[in-house]
Amino acid sequence: MKKARDGKPTINDVARIAGVSKKTVSRVINRSPLLNEATREKVEAVIAELGYVPNPQARALALRRNFLIGLIHDNPNAQMVLGVQEGILSAIRDTEFALVVRPVNRRSLDMLDDVRAFLEQQRLFGVMLLPPISENDALAELCEDLGVTYVRMGSVRLDEDEHMVASNDREAVANAVGYLVERGHRRIGFVAGPEGFRSAAERALGYRDALEQAGLALDPAIMAEGSYTFETGIAAGEKLLSASTPPSAIFASNDEMAAGVLHAARTQGLSVPEDLSIVGFDDTAIAAHIWPPLTTVRWPIQAMAKAAAIKLIDPAQARKQPSHFLSDLIERASVRPA
Amino acid sequence: MKKARDGKPTINDVARIAGVSKKTVSRVINRSPLLNEATREKVEAVIAELGYVPNPQARALALRRNFLIGLIHDNPNAQMVLGVQEGILSAIRDTEFALVVRPVNRRSLDMLDDVRAFLEQQRLFGVMLLPPISENDALAELCEDLGVTYVRMGSVRLDEDEHMVASNDREAVANAVGYLVERGHRRIGFVAGPEGFRSAAERALGYRDALEQAGLALDPAIMAEGSYTFETGIAAGEKLLSASTPPSAIFASNDEMAAGVLHAARTQGLSVPEDLSIVGFDDTAIAAHIWPPLTTVRWPIQAMAKAAAIKLIDPAQARKQPSHFLSDLIERASVRPA
DNA sequence: GCGATTTAGGTAACCGGTGTCAATCAGGTG
DNA sequence: CACCTGATTGACACCGGTTACCTAAATCGC
């Protein structure tokens, strides 16, 4: 009689033992204000005694909403994804929400159908979209259509504040390049990210801004494009360093390419930072673990992810969350005055 | 009359429109064999027309089990965690399962309570435990008690085959050190991982095995311990290289420490691999992106995670999944014959 | 040709919560 | 003392599926 069969205690067990209706137990769980203090205590005692925990599936069914938030990403950068996961977790800690992850393949043709099937099947409360797929407007529309609230992370304002959290890559790069200018560099090379990535475009704009600000001319001979990989970084480095007037400093649009540039410089007998200064972007593990440690731009991934998650789950707090975040320049040892 | 209010179509809508009972629709969804072909087709047509997808929460409630599998980890290595996530995803793709992640803090005193609360609240179908916390037997017991099936990943046999998937770190390290011996190295240093980590202990045993096999004596002067971080790798490298007879090769128990050793060597004016050969473990991104690229041991994380996930969700396939996996030595450029 | 099976499908209860609305009870009012 | 008001609480239907059980028609053996 103490409790049903084998399973966990249910609201019915609590109600029976406490001698109240299940609705009253429900009120206790949900902290309903119109409830006698004595009753509340009595029920809470039974809950504690039984170790009762409400069944989330039943709750989800009755409330017609669940407590799962999804993270959809297609990301080459493990550190970033994990940083986001931790940011989200810090927002949902001590709530009943849980985090469901769903890696997808950006290049796959049926990526959209894939995501649609996922959303329809799981009926998540909301989802977070990570770059680069967060830049895909069709995906955001899909969420809208399916009635799934979403928040996009990006390197620039992608959507209404309510649906977005962004770093300001353009400004961050402009600052980083400006930092090189301040140290006397006049010939600063640039390694761009792949075409089609919004972040790559923003970073390129930041580079232009800084040169313009410093009164320096753009020179295609010391600009190259890579695809955010170590190998393309090497190739870009080789190109830039073999220019007739090679640069004294190079800004690479991410750390992996910066590591590639470093590698290319070393291969050509140059030492860093004596002969060449290098600045990267992202502050991944690589940045701190290569030699010399890389001066780079760190964007506050965790804080952004946390803010995004709060926007998703807590309407009361949502408006108070910032939508824009500033990145910091992390000074290490790969830069020296010209 | 076509369908209820605003929401998605439900099984009732399908039943009404198809002119059958909801139970029959349920049979169609669950591919019940005792069912007339014509009826099945009729119902399937309505399902397709309405775009009906069963509500997972209702299903979970009725079935008394859900389709969420959890990944519990406390991991310093982003690449590994992400590799595991992808392995799991490849196993659950095209099933109705989804992946819930839950980072925890190993050092936190209430880690166990934290996990307990998580499991009780979410009522997951099963969980996967990643190293290093997978080595915690109390955690496995907790899962057992709570009736949550689990699978542990580890560097050695931790549990019954049913609950475990393991690499063989001891053998992998013995092979890697043997590889150095084959290349004529007779004085091989070792950087151990932190005490308390099973993987660290296994790797140390592999080192001993290899030396014994080669008839070489253990020399504490060229052995050090680190905590799997770059900085402790530097310290270990400094110690080993300042031995009265320094080693001609060093095996480090993970790539970060290997990168630290590399750094220490460089600081002392040694070149790698000319003056010192280095081998790491894990094959993280760092290994390929430092200079020289690091020869290291790669363990098949994704395959292991996939096998583990299948053990969790598919009892029919579970027995056929391997429980032990072999690691490969990835030859790069940080080793040269003595 | 008739009872015994088999087959196809329906009915009602239930999984464990929540919403709605009415019932009960105490105290205050005229 | 009858009536009204606000605070508590319970009864009951419902969320969208599934299980257990039952019925009716079709098939079968002899």
Q: Under a CB-based contact definition with an 8 Å cutoff, are residues A133 and A119 in contact?
A: no
Q: From the list B89, B100, B284, which residue is nearest A99 (CB)? A: B100
**Average pLDDT of span B267-292:** 94
Q: Under a CB-based contact definition with an 8 Å cutoff, are residues B247 and B236 in contact?
A: no
Domain ranges (residues) in chain A: 11-54, 63-168+301-327, 169-298
CB atoms within 10 A of CB B5: 4
| Tokens of residue B4, six digits | 């209820």
Q: C1' nearest to CA of B21: which nucleotide?
A: C10
* Dihedral sign for Cα atoms in the order A5, A11, A13, A14: positive
For A31, residues 6+ apart whose C-beta sits below 8 A from its C-beta are none
Alpha carbon distances (Å) from B100 to A75, B57, B151: 18, 15, 15
Q: List, for residues B108-134, the tens digit of each pLDDT value.
A: 889 999 999 999 999 999 999 999 999
Q: From the list B57, B118, B284, which residue is nearest A60 (CB)? A: B57
Left if phi > 0, otherwise alpha if psi is -120 to 50, otherwise beta: which for A190?
beta
Q: What mean pLDDT, rounded, does chain A reach? A: 94
Q: Does pLDDT of B7 surpass 80?
A: no
Binned at pLDDT 50, 70 and 90, residue B300 comes out as: very high
CATH number of the structural domain A169-298: 3.40.50.2300
Q: Does pLDDT of B2 surpass 60?
A: no
Same fold, A63-168+301-327 and A169-298: yes
Left if phi > 0, otherwise alpha if psi is -120 to 50, otherwise beta: which for A86?
alpha
Q: Does pLDDT of B1 surpass 60?
A: no
- Chain C nucleotides covered by protein, CB below 7 Å: 7-12, 14-20
Q: C1' nearest to CA of A59: which nucleotide?
A: C17
Q: Which fold has domain B63-168+301-326?
A: Rossmann fold (3.40.50)
| Tokens of residue A234, six digits | 């090497």
Q: Which helix (H) or strand (E) holds B24?
A: helix B22-29
Left if phi > 0, otherwise alpha if psi is -120 to 50, otherwise beta: which for A241?
alpha
pLDDT of residue B15: 94
How many CA atoms are closer than 13 Å to the CA of B3, on its beta-carbon side? 17
- By C-alpha distance, the chain B residue nearest A98 is B100
Cis check: omega of the bond before A273, within 30 degrees of 0:
yes
Q: What mean pLDDT, rounded, does chain B reach? A: 94
Using an 8 Å CB-CB cutoff, list chain A residues near B289.
230, 256, 259, 286, 290
Q: From the list B56, B256, B262, which residue is nearest A123 (CB)? A: B56
Question: Does nucleic acid strand C have an atom less than 7 angstroms from the CB of A30?
Answer: yes
| Tokens of residue A112, six digits | 């959209």
- The secondary structure of residue B327, as a DSSP letter, is -
**Average pLDDT of span B61-69:** 95
Q: Which fold has domain B11-54?
A: 434 Repressor (Amino-terminal Domain) (1.10.260)
**Average pLDDT of span B229-242:** 96
Q: List, for residues A218-232, the tens digit of each pLDDT value.
A: 999 999 999 999 999
Q: Does pLDDT of B337 surpass 90?
A: yes
Binned at pLDDT 50, 70 and 90, residue B6 comes out as: low
B150 vs B71: CA distance, rounded Å = 10
Q: Which fold has domain A63-168+301-327?
A: Rossmann fold (3.40.50)
User: Of the ranges A59-63, B34-38, B126-130, B261-265, which one carries the lowest mean pLDDT score?
Assistant: B34-38
Q: Which fold has domain B169-299?
A: Rossmann fold (3.40.50)
Q: Does pLDDT of A306 surpass 90?
A: yes
The three-point CA angle B132-B138-B142 to 5° equals 115
Q: For chain B, how far is it from start to end, CA to CA, in angstroms? A: 83
